[in-house]
Chains A and B, each alone.
Chain A
């Protein structure tokens, strides 16, 4: 067993590794991350995860539900640290996995991966408490500066292989029978049972919870499922029909008025503390909102952006979907603007009190053009559509796995914060 595997085993048990090992790990991680562009290319299949926030036991639950590394490929969209009690173990485990399986796991930066924010929201104090000095915090912050700002997932399949799983509620099975239809969205619970299944419906203006509308999808033979349970490795080709779900941009926050093409993200100088304003700040801080155009963000950093902005950006960059995190969603995930953008939130019962469920998003692999790397910024092969119509192309099939908080082991948790002695 290598030192790295030993460190992984120790961290999986939620035990911190010694300071000198952290130093070594962070050094190796930086060497690896410095080679990555600001926008990392990631091939489907991949499982996309949102905020973790130091909820170590819930991260373990995530791996149980989504499949373990390296069997499942993961893309974590930042906010590994702060607020939860095990930021250190959570981040170091993810970093170890990154160093051990660099092609199997992608980490991008969230707004909490910052010196200023971690000083206030817990990670700094946690490092100080667990090591007696701020050295480990410093090593980690240096890694933060090297994390990519986004990822571009390519080769995702348009249609999901139907899960060979029972329905959570057998009575709902009849209404969700989609044997002769393409599946666009499937939602599974933590036991792998199907909660909802939505067929692809080209007529519907948006994929809503309603499944009553008839589908105009052509009937095709769905190949048998080949991926192991708990993964999205469904690698069969889907007949001769094109099954390319288009590129998916993943960022922690969202878009920036200073960024109209993905290439402009690639040009940023990212190796710095997250600035208070500018493109890099916006990518990590912005939120989509039901407005027209751009708005001020109530957060005091980044912007709000409306459906027109997302659709225009996706069109211009030939994206089918933007996946982002950053906002707590009580249901774990939320698709907006005719499914052109989705928020994925992966910290169940956030901060041990918010009562929300968590979700991860699995994108399957399109085997029909294996090995062909499509460029995602050209006009070739673009489906006829205009800038502001609904999604310009069929997006990727999306399988959400929804899960609750793991039973908490309260040992080692710091005592409840003392109440304010004076508040009037």
Chain B
């Protein structure tokens, strides 16, 4: 027996040594050329230019998906903000504008492929993908210190401000009709803005992608463990894209190439680390999702909830859904980032939602009272 086991051990050792070494989290002797600007840059994907040796899977540029990117400044007694958004303006003043808000740790480019797909279905509609503070936008307090207040109230106000700043920059005489679409934390942000009536009668509806208060609250406990299990950095952008695909965080390589580079910043050593330190945002997690179901159900406007995987509504949403208060669609084949995994399908659903609720084209059958007044037989 002893001999056998020794043999087995030797065999196992031999086998192990054959495996490739584990990928180091940081690779100091990164072959990447030194690019001192990107470490400190606000790092839209546009500033990221990988060398040819890393282009096995080419990183895609924002300009493939949006007409322009804007930096919008906000000056107030509370400080200074430099917001970053991607925009494809509506083609006509009557066309709706879809305002897209990403989730925590993500970026406006998470909607890259969706933005392309939706324009195929709604060629006149505009698309505005905003980026939250600490996610591409930067806000400084009065003392010049970076203000990373990520409370839900602040985030929804930032989003609405970005919308108004965009309108001013583009010199639109009137705000277009609006549809808010938020993924994950972004879903909580658009729900908060809708509930507070911040966009008044310009808002025709809002869509929430893959977040439900009940299951988000349940998942809080395991969140830090999940974050700890992610690599803290990557030697190259390709490695980062690879990780997102291999871990099935993202299931669409094309989308991963468009969005992942924007999630990372380069360290002085040349490797890449997360732009947003998610675990440090823990103080806000409860604040983001608490009361979200009730806000979602009671805000004015058409409501669309898109879930990935399974239907996991909490009690409040379950009652609301079975009373017919909102539209629910489940995409069993998608992961959490469903707008990245299934951009064409999500665009299809959103286009239907927009068309259905667009008051300018909506015609309902007449009321009985009106028919009677007209002397018609009913």
A contacts, CB < 8 Å to B:
51, 119-122, 257, 287, 292-300, 306, 308-309, 311-312, 316, 326-328, 330, 350-351, 353-356, 387-388, 417, 419-424
Apart from A296-B302, A308-B369: 4 A-B pairs, beta carbons within 8 A: A292-B369, A350-B319, A354-B322, A424-B223
A122: chain B residues within 8 A (beta carbon): 311
Docked Cα-Cα span, A316 to B315, in Å, equals: 40
A423: chain B residues within 8 A (beta carbon): 184, 210-211, 215-216, 219, 223, 336
Do the beta carbons of B378 and A297 come within 8 Å of each other? Answer: no
Do the beta carbons of B218 and A297 come within 8 Å of each other? Answer: no
B40: chain A residues within 8 A (beta carbon): none
B330: chain A residues within 8 A (beta carbon): 120-121
Q: Chain A's nearest CB lies how many Å from the CB of B49?
A: 29
Do the beta carbons of B369 and A388 come within 8 Å of each other? Answer: yes
CB of B222 within 8 Å of the partner chain: yes
B322: chain A residues within 8 A (beta carbon): 51, 327-328, 350, 354
B303: chain A residues within 8 A (beta carbon): 298
Do the beta carbons of B364 and A295 come within 8 Å of each other? Answer: yes
Central interface residue in B185, B318, B323, B332, by most chain A CB within 10 Å: B323
A-contact bits for B308-322, CB 8 A (1 contact / 0 none): 011110010011001
CB of B326 within 8 Å of the partner chain: yes
Q: Chain A's nearest CB lies how many Å from the CB of B206?
A: 12
Central interface residue in A257, A353, A355, A423, by most chain B CB within 10 Å: A423
Q: Which chain B residues numbered 1 to 49 have a C-beta less than 8 Å away from chain A? A: none
Do the beta carbons of A421 and B226 come within 8 Å of each other? Answer: yes
Do the beta carbons of B311 and A422 come within 8 Å of each other? Answer: no
Do the beta carbons of A296 and B356 come within 8 Å of each other? Answer: yes
CB of B168 within 8 Å of the partner chain: no
Q: Which residue of A lies closest to B187 (CB)?
A: A423
Do the beta carbons of A300 and B304 come within 8 Å of each other? Answer: yes
Cross-interface CB contact of A417 among B278, B310, B336, cutoff 8 Å: B310
Q: Which residue of A lies closest to B369 (CB)?
A: A308
Do the beta carbons of A312 and B368 come within 8 Å of each other? Answer: yes
Q: Which residue of B lies closest to A51 (CB)?
A: B322
CB of B143 within 8 Å of the partner chain: no
Q: Which residue of B lies closest to A79 (CB)?
A: B322
Q: Chain A's nearest CB lies how many Å from the CB of B371?
A: 9
B contacts, CB < 8 Å to A:
103-105, 184-185, 210-211, 215-216, 218-219, 222-223, 226, 249, 278, 281, 285, 302-304, 309-312, 315, 318-319, 322-327, 329-330, 332, 336, 352-353, 356-357, 362, 364-370, 372, 378
A417: chain B residues within 8 A (beta carbon): 310, 312
Docked Cα-Cα span, A311 to B318, in Å, equals: 30
Q: Which residue of A lies closest to B225 (CB)?
A: A421
Docked Cα-Cα span, A383 to B54, in Å, equals: 84
Do the beta carbons of B318 and A292 come within 8 Å of each other? Answer: no
Q: Chain B's nearest CB lies how many Å from the CB of A422?
A: 5
Q: Chain A's nearest CB lies how many Å from the CB of B309?
A: 8
B103: chain A residues within 8 A (beta carbon): 424
Q: Chain A's nearest CB lies how many Å from the CB of B254?
A: 21
Q: Chain B's nearest CB lies how many Å from the CB of A68?
A: 28
Docked Cα-Cα span, A388 to B352, in Å, equals: 35
Q: Chain B's nearest CB lies how many Å from the CB of A227?
A: 33
Do the beta carbons of B365 and A294 come within 8 Å of each other? Answer: yes
Central interface residue in A120, A122, A417, A420, by most chain B CB within 10 Å: A420
Do the beta carbons of A354 and B368 come within 8 Å of each other? Answer: no
Do the beta carbons of B219 and A421 come within 8 Å of each other? Answer: yes
Given contacts A120-B311, A354-B319, A388-B368, contact A419 B215 (CB under 8 A): yes
B311: chain A residues within 8 A (beta carbon): 120-122
A306: chain B residues within 8 A (beta carbon): 367
Do the beta carbons of A298 and B326 come within 8 Å of each other? Answer: yes
A119: chain B residues within 8 A (beta carbon): 332
Do the beta carbons of B105 and A308 come within 8 Å of each other? Answer: no
* A–B pairs, 12, beta carbons within 8 Å: A120-B311, A293-B366, A296-B362, A298-B324, A300-B353, A330-B319, A351-B318, A387-B368, A388-B368, A419-B215, A419-B219, A423-B184
Do the beta carbons of A312 and B336 come within 8 Å of each other? Answer: no
Docked Cα-Cα span, A295 to B366, in Å, equals: 10
Do the beta carbons of A353 and B336 come within 8 Å of each other? Answer: no
Q: Which residue of A lies closest to B220 (CB)?
A: A423
